[in-house]
Amino acid sequence: MTLHEHATPAEKVAAMGSLPAKVDVKAPLVSQEALTEGVLKLTAVAPSIALRAMPGQFVQVGVNRGGTLLRRPLGIAEADPATGHVSLIYRVAGKGTLALSQLKPDDEIKLLGPLGHGFSTKAEKPLLVGGGMGLSPLLYAAEYLLGHKTETDVLMGGRTEKELFWQQLFKDCAKNIHLTTDDGSLGTKGFVTTILPELLKENGYDLVIACGPEIMMKNVAKVCKEHDVPCEVSLERRMGCGLGACLSCSIDTVSGRRKVCKDGPVFPAEEVFF
Ligand SMILES: Cc1cc2nc3c(=O)[nH]c(=O)nc-3n(C[C@H](O)[C@H](O)[C@H](O)COP(=O)(O)OP(=O)(O)OC[C@H]3O[C@@H](n4cnc5c(N)ncnc54)[C@H](O)[C@@H]3O)c2cc1C
Ligand code: FES
């Protein structure tokens, strides 16, 4: 492939020939903005990751400051093959994410990815169910699926209205957005499982994709089982290597010990909640 002067990042990557499934790249930041208190959206240039990222996959992020040697796993919130941009949405939880939050445009991070197995992309009528930072990979799922002509509905839950700033991010890529809050300040009062049975009964979803606190995913999986709708869940474990080598993310499943980083993070619910 001969490159013309104005080749897009995707064309430049394609010109390199076939790439390995994952890459380890230095990625300059394009932007970093606060979405709400303690939650930031970072966008970096990483065309070789943007081009191959599937929804539900994650990256291991390295920051050369703050004394953090280990990389931190973060789900892919957006990936645009045309611009080569990859976005991550994260909560400042400790020293790794704090160091990340202090970076400015043109600072560089290290990105290893895309890692793990993502969500199924074959469903015709999927419902995405999320809470907290679990909504981050669901955002890419909604954008990716829309780009592949599949509309998604989203059910999101939070403690209060303030936690549902996500609805702004999903407004252009989801068809219907259903909201619940624990205190009733927005949407239906209660957990996502308060309205999930009704949604499953009325809408004929052929897949539920859940990402959020484990207790939420367990309860979502239970409701899905009762309504005979397949459910996928994305698990979180502390990770060392992200590549299947250190065993720090091992879990028990119906088919024995599996590694969340390599065999997951997405699993059929019945494989892990049994
Ligand atoms: C596959 C995967 C995808 C993830 N995607 C996202 C994402 O999109 N956005 C986001 O905000 N976070 C995400 N996380 C969680 C994120 O990795 C942790 O918040 C981050 O590693 C904390 O690093 P730290 O150095 O800031 O905190 P540390 O100083 O290491 O820890 C601070 C606190 O965070 C908790 N913590 C650390 N790692 C995890 C973890 N893996 N799971 C749960 N709690 C943890 C610790 O128990 C501790 O209480 C993801 C985790 C995994 C495994
Ligand atoms: S993080 Fe090392 S094996 Fe999963």
Give the pLDDT confidence of 215-274 residue by residue, as tens digits.
Answer: 999 999 999 999 999 999 999 999 999 999 999 999 999 999 999 999 999 999 999 998
Ligand 1 interacting residues, C-beta cut-off 6 A = 58, 72-75, 89-91, 93-97, 133, 136, 236-239, 265
Provide the pairing of β-strand 153-158 with 176-181. Answer: parallel
- Predicted TM-score of the model (pTM): 0.93
Q: How do residues 160-212 score in pLDDT, each as one tens digit?
A: 999 999 999 999 999 999 999 999 999 999 999 999 999 999 999 999 999 99
What is the whole-number distance in angstroms between the Cα of residue 93 and the centre of ligand 1?
7
Of ligand 1's atoms, which has the minimum distance to the CA of residue 115?
Answer: 1
Rounded-to-integer distance, Cα 135 and Cα 110, Å = 23
Tell me how far the alpha carbon of residue 261 lies from the centroid of ligand 2, in angstroms: 6
Is it true that the peptide bond before 114 is cis, omega within 30 degrees of 0?
A: yes
- Tell me how far the alpha carbon of residue 34 is from its chain's centroid: 18
Residue 168 burial by CB count (10 A; 0-12/13-18/19+): exposed, middle or buried?
exposed
Of ligand 1's listed atoms, the one at least distance from the Cα of 96 is 25
The number of the ligand nearest the C-alpha atom of 260 reads 2
Residue located via tokens 């093959």: 81
Cβ(261) – ligand 2 distance below 6 Å: yes
Q: How far is the CA of 48 from the centre of ligand 2 (A)?
A: 22
